[in-house]
Structure 1
Amino acid sequence: MLRIALMLDADHLFTLANGDEDRFYTVLKSLEKKAPCRMVDAITPAMLAILKQMLHCPYCGMTQRIFLEGKAMELLAHKLEQICPCGCDGTGINASDTERVHYAARLLVHDLENPPDIMTLTRSVGLNRNKLHRCFRQVFGRSPFEYLRNHRLQAAMQLLQGGETNVTEAALMVGYTNLSYFTKAFKSMFGVAPGKLRK
């Protein structure tokens, strides 16, 4: 498993947001204390493509630095658009529907043990099933079920890495009642069985 961390000075981000502070108010407000801020969300297909380009950079020296800095800024643009969508990204989703999709995502992962079913979710956000699925894929690059599954497995990974939770407990805490299904899904996502990870 690879992890890429991009760190940006808060003052630099304030400079970049010059003239667009209202849109990025939530992000900028969280950085006012000058403390490190981590914003977790799904990795979209576009972000994944950039990350792969960074990992397989064909250059070296100064050219490599320029290439990686450019890709880092491109990744930042995708992340900021994900956090504060402007509603004009060319996907055909208006700002209201994008906001509803983000609300649906928050509802899905609020209680991993007891997430809402699709009918409850559609009623809560005011979108029909087909539109929710279509908009969800355009915003997050995956279906609501895939989004929930990924968050459940990532939460289980964190529990197991903490070392105080066994595999069965971790599976139950993130909403899996079938241990063999959990193990299969976990290994498919992370390339290692949960039991081996805990050891």
Structure 2
Amino acid sequence: MMQAIPINLDSIGSTLEIEKNWYLSTTPPKLQNLFSEMYEAKGIEQAAYFKIKAVELLYHMNQLTQNHGCDFKYFDKGQIRTTKEIWGYMISHLEEKHSLEDLTRKYKINLSLFHMVFSQIYGDTPYSCLKKYKMNIAAGRLLDSEDKIGEIAIDLGYSNASKFAKAFQSVYGELPKDYRKNKKEYERAIFGNLR
């Protein structure tokens, strides 16, 4: 089957220099869809399905390296690992204010390099990712608990509820109190009809 499909594994390997480096790239829409399908199929589909998807992935990688040139940015494995460690620290200490200068100094990575690697891995700036991460946690707590908004704000490192509300609105398009109220009303309307 592999001989009938125009995929040159050696060419992919040499173009991406996978023997020497790790590479990162923003994901084209076709590959995003492919990865979504694979994640959704986990635990549902059989191994043959994933073999087919692996061939599809190789086909798209081959197309990227041949037709469009290789726009991959190469980073040392240590730089990628360090960047992920800093992100891990940031999300495990949500109540703290994070100075990227201090964190990059502590983890011994150049700040500019950290920004480049981070944006390639996570697709956004560190502070923007952190805000979205915090707001996703906040949204879950607003729906699944009766915690006060000010309490959620403090737990997520905001000095007051008003700064937290502004950040929440920038991500979800509505204030936390409205989000909680609207989602709970929606759930009552949906699940109330099922009872």
Per the normalisation by structure 2, the TM-score is 0.57
Please name the residue that 1:8 is paired with. 41
Q: What count of residue pairs does the alignment treat as equivalent?
A: 132
Query: Is 1:184 aligned to 2:160, yes or no?
Result: no
Query: Is 1:112 aligned to 2:145, yes or no?
Result: no
Distance 1:137 1:128 in 2: 14
Deviation string 1:150-178 (CA, Å, 9 cap, x unpaired) is 11111111111113212111111111113
In structure 2, the CA distance between the partners of 1:123 and 1:13, relative to structure 1 (3 Å rule), is farther
Q: What's the offset of the Cα at 1:14? A: 5.9
Q: SS at the partner of 2:102?
A: helix
Superposed, 1:41-80 pairs within 5 Å as none
Q: What's the offset of the Cα at 1:179? A: 2.1
Q: SS at the partner of 2:159?
A: coil
Please name the residue that 2:117 is paired with. 135
Distance 1:74 1:123 in 2: 41
Deviation string 1:112-159 (CA, Å, 9 cap, x unpaired) is 001542133103332111111111111111111112111111111111
In structure 2, the CA distance between the partners of 1:195 and 1:110, relative to structure 1 (3 Å rule), is same
Q: What's the offset of the Cα at 1:196? A: 1.1
Please name the residue that 1:146 is paired with. 128
Q: Which runs of 5+ in 1 are unaligned?
A: 19-69, 76-87
In structure 2, the CA distance between the partners of 1:127 and 1:166, relative to structure 1 (3 Å rule), is same
Structure richer in helix, relative to its length: 2
Identity of aligned residues (%): 27
Query: Is 1:193 aligned to 2:167, yes or no?
Result: no
Distance 2:48 2:86 in 1: 32
In structure 2, the CA distance between the partners of 1:102 and 1:13, relative to structure 1 (3 Å rule), is farther
Q: What's the offset of the Cα at 1:13? A: 7.6
In structure 2, the CA distance between the partners of 1:11 and 1:192, relative to structure 1 (3 Å rule), is closer
Distance 1:15 1:182 in 2: 47
In structure 2, the CA distance between the partners of 1:175 and 1:15, relative to structure 1 (3 Å rule), is farther
Distance 2:105 2:46 in 1: 37
Per the normalisation by structure 1, the TM-score is 0.56
CA RMSD of aligned residues (A): 3.4
Q: What's the offset of the Cα at 1:95? A: 2.3
